[in-house]
Amino acid sequence: MSNNKKNKINYEEEGVFYTPGKSLKNSDDFESFEDFGIKKKPVKKTPKKLPPQKSKYPVYMAIAIISGVLAFIILLILMKNILGGESGVKKSTDFYSEPTTKDYEAYSGEEKSGVSISGNEYLGVIRTKSDSFKTLTIYNISFEENADYTVTGGTQIFDKYGKGILFDELREGDIVDFVYDKENVLISVNKSDKAFSETLKNGFKLDKINKTISNGMKTYNYSEMTKFIYKNEDFDPEFIDPSIDTITISGYEDMVWAVTLDKGHGEITVIKNNKIKNGIIEIDTNIYKKLNDIDTVKLNEGIHKVVVKGTNIESFTKEITLAINEKVSLDLNEVPIKSGKVTIRPNVDDYALYINGNLELSREPLELEYGSYTIEIVKYGYITYTSRFTVDSPEEIIKPNLTKEVKMGTLTVNSNPSGANLMINGASVGMTPYSCDLVQGQHSITLKKDGYKDITIDSIYISEQGATYNVELQKE
């Protein structure tokens, strides 16, 4: 290489610009002016001259604006993703590849021995839900399998109308369309719009043997995997009474996958009070029965108003709160019976008084409950007084009338000859021989017969053992 090449001068740095002429055949051979025999004159060093340049400020401004816009968009998308996992806002597709989904109906013809595949959409029912760990146990209806899935901030959560909802708004028993990844993290979980929901009450049919539920128009099936829920807790379907309970069934086609007990029932046992007369029981506004016709009654859980009425009681009201499957006793012996003051005034003194067989020593008015009673008054020399009376007013007065006791004896009169007309105390009573009962004491008798003299005995005495008289008639 020549010294010129070694000591090559950069004329551009010296502020000299050269454009080769047309006679230069090969510009690649151009190294320096010395190559053409041209000597460079020495020049004074002057400040370097730069070629005219446009201002770079607009470029910087454009770059800054674009960078700021991009940063704002990225920040906005990140915020939407973070909030989307908790609020149900749909996350941007800029940060993940939308999975290839298949409708769960596409699997209806596949064998049940297959396994579900991540990235596909399935129909399932939420069996358990952990608010603390943000996990769901979902039963895959298509493949009949349970699996635990995790909900993250990026999980899409929607209601059946496509509106974003919170994780807290998912419920055990919800029928959902769900998509998950290989780590069992839910990509999306949406309340399915293909599921049915129906509320049944007052007379639906529940066949616990054949596992069917009927609303009268259509019959649905359920299985051991059907979720029975009451206030977010599992319960036994044996507790359901179709005659009174209200349930909501949710499922797909003719299969019920969730049964929610909206309103269960309890039971009231009535302990009767036999003292209540003409008793009537009223419960709320729809039950009205005679007390004698009711022993137990089933009622929906909640507060119930019970009213008991009778002719001998004040109206009795009680509020009863029933929990599901609870039995409560209503003891009507607590109901006070009306009472009245009863004054007893017999026509004798020094008597013994018995009320319903119990001796009453007091001679003051008696406080007796409304009802019927037996009264008995005993006094020597008088016939025992027995009667029944009813107390149905605040005050009652009873005036028993005792009759003196009359002791009797048997009188027998014979005559010879017989067939005489017999008169006792002046009254003809019959023909001899004659026998009758008379009050103990003195009496008179007369015997008459044609052809015979009349015979009168003024003083005959009849004792407790009676008396017998044999009379001989004398001819005239």
Q: Do residues 261 and 230 touch, judged by C-beta distance below 8 A? A: yes
Domains of the chain by range and CATH?
A: 1-42 (no CATH), 196-263 (2.40.50), 265-334 (2.60.40.1120), 339-398 (no CATH), 408-472 (2.60.40.10)
Chain segment 103-142, per-residue pLDDT in tens? 444 444 344 446 788 899 999 999 999 999 999 999 999 8
What's the mean pLDDT when you consider all of the chain? 83
Type of residue numbered 148: D
Query: 88-102, 261-275, 352-366 — which is least confidently predicted?
Result: 88-102
Q: What is the pLDDT of residue 6?
A: 42
Give the confidence band of 33 by pLDDT, cuts at 50, 70, 90: very low
Radius of gyration of the chain (CA): 59
Task: Give CA–CA dist 337/334, Å, rounded.
Answer: 9
Which of helix, strand or coil describes residue 223?
A: coil
For residue 365, pLDDT beyond 90:
yes
Give the confidence band of 17 by pLDDT, cuts at 50, 70, 90: very low
Per residue, what are the HEC states of 404-455? Answer: ECCCEEEEEEEEECCCCEEEECCEEEEECCEEEEEECEEEEEEEECCCECCE
Give the confidence band of 50 by pLDDT, cuts at 50, 70, 90: very low
Q: What is the pLDDT of residue 256?
A: 97
For residue 84, pLDDT beyond 80:
no
Task: Give CA–CA dist 314/312, Å, rounded.
Answer: 7
Q: What is the pLDDT of residue 41?
A: 47
Token pair of 346 as six digits: 């017999």
Give the confidence band of 47 by pLDDT, cuts at 50, 70, 90: very low
Chain segment 135-157, per-residue pLDDT in tens? 999 999 989 999 999 999 999 99
pTM of the model: 0.54
Q: What is the pLDDT of residue 43?
A: 44
